[in-house]
Structure 1
């Protein structure tokens, strides 16, 4: 084949691609509004419901809720999708790889692959982070969060970690209206007594701890209370984020993630609460003063769980 013919065919190929860019600028991406995104994240169980507003906050800060967003960086990597997942660590451009074993497409082929994926569905795997299907985004984001919390995202650290945006409250109210999702647990008095025993709490004081939990959370491990000072109380003992824990990463005087205090495993909540009690006494909890101090404590003498 002559050089002219080869050049002609190459030019034709480029022309076809450019034509596809121009005539078929088809996108599978979607720009989510806050409440639909909250519904989607809750449905796919990205985390406990108490943290959904944080995920929405992160997505809005990173991408404006745009699943097709791509940001090219100075280090020759790029951030992809609604959570702006980086190609240097978490995915690989043009093939599956990285710590999430996901495919983030080469910047120059993104629009072409979008078009191709509409014609050949088998090519959709080339767009792991750029479609309105958030399965891959959520799977990888959960891994990132597991490794480093919300603090793994620079945008979170610089703009969101210490802020309580007005619409985050709206998202929280919206989530309350959804059917319950069992992420936490509502303990009985005896179940909590058993856990207190397992974590070394003297039987002498267990009535105070059970009374405290009943007063502040109704024994609900998943309870989160947002406060006017832009902090929040977490878990069965309502531990505050200003002093004792940090959202998205380990910190505070308990050196814990606040998120670790809202699971059905109350070990972390007990350990942190003991630190609070040893430092400031039960009086640190206003509700203990109102509901428990000098009052009859819950009767747990017949709880067979107490050894």
Structure 2
């Protein structure tokens, strides 16, 4: 028993050097997702929250449930959507491909799941992300994200329009004041 445990630990340490694993930062994940086709910008915060809650933003996350079923990768995609050892499942993908750093195929499969079942397919989204805008608000503070939230851009556009109006009004007042001084 002790030998088996030591062998498992040693094997894990050796394989971890060859592992393609990445744990995204929240901002890094938001930036990467914003560049993937199919992710709507208005749902960017929802996707980041989902990933954060189900896999802690780690590409190699693998969960084995007590009934033997597995969930893979960033989105914790269940084995019915992929096939171990070869392409297959409802997403026609190898399960092992959901555990590497290339998240485009993971995201394509997650988008398919979302289109068929919605975000409520992931129970953690329902309990931890639904009606919670904290992460959405946080990612729009990311310096690398070249996009403003719809609310912020609307506010800023309103604010800049207001500033332009005030500037025009000041200019008009100044020119009226100058004219009135010349006539007096």
Q: Note the residue ranges of structure 1 that are not aligned, 5 or more in a row.
A: 1-14, 105-126, 181-222, 227-307
Q: Which residue of 2 aligns with 1:208?
A: none
Spell out the pairing of 1:177-196 with structure 2 (5 A cutoff). 177-178=145-146
Do the aligned partners of residues 46 and 171 (structure 1) sit closer, same or farther apart at CA in structure 2, a change above 3 Å counting? Answer: farther
Alpha-carbon distance in structure 1 between the residues aligned to 2:104 and 2:132:
28
- C-alpha distance in 1, partners of 2:139/2:38? 15
Task: Show the counterpart of 2:137.
Answer: 169
Query: In the alignment, is the contact (CA less than 8 A) between 2:27 and 2:144 conserved in 1?
Result: no
Looking at structure 2, the residues matched to 49 and 102 of structure 1 have their Cα atoms a distance apart, in angstroms, of 25
Cα deviation for residue 20 of structure 1 reads 5.4
* Structure 1 partner of 2:121: 152
What's the offset of the Cα at 1:154? 1.2
RMSD, aligned CA: 2.6
Give the TM-score normalised by structure 1.
0.43
**Alpha-carbon distance in 2 for matches of 1:64, 1:85:** 14
1:18/1:170 Cα in 2 relative to 1: closer, same or farther (>3 Å)? closer
| Residue number in structure 2 paired with 1:38 | 30
Distance 1:175 1:52 in 2: 15
Q: Specify whether residues 33 and 19 from structure 1 end up closer, same or farther in structure 2 by C-alpha distance, changes over 3 A only.
A: closer
CA apart distance, 1:46: 3.7
Q: 2:42 aligns with which of 37, 40, 50?
A: 50
Q: 1:177 to 1:21 in 2, by over 3 A?
A: closer
69, 72, 81: which is aligned to 1:77? 69
Aligned pairs, how many?
145
Gaps of 5+ in 2: 1-6, 153-184
Deviations 1:138-170 (A, max 9, x none): 1101101111111111111122112222x4202
Q: Aligned partners of 1:149 and 1:27: how far apart in 2?
A: 32
2:108 corresponds in structure 1 to 139
Counterpart position of 1:108: none
User: Quick one: structure 1 residues 224 and 75, their matched pair in 2 at CA, closer, same or farther if it must change by over 3 Å?
Assistant: farther
CA, structure 1 residues 76+169, in 2 after alignment: closer, same or farther (shift >3 Å)? same
Of 90, 107, 128, which aligns to 2:97? Answer: 128
Larger helix percent: 2
Poorly superposed stretches of 4+, deviation over 6 Å: none
SS in 1 for 2:105: helix
Cα distance in 2 between the residues matched to 1:138 and 1:150: 13
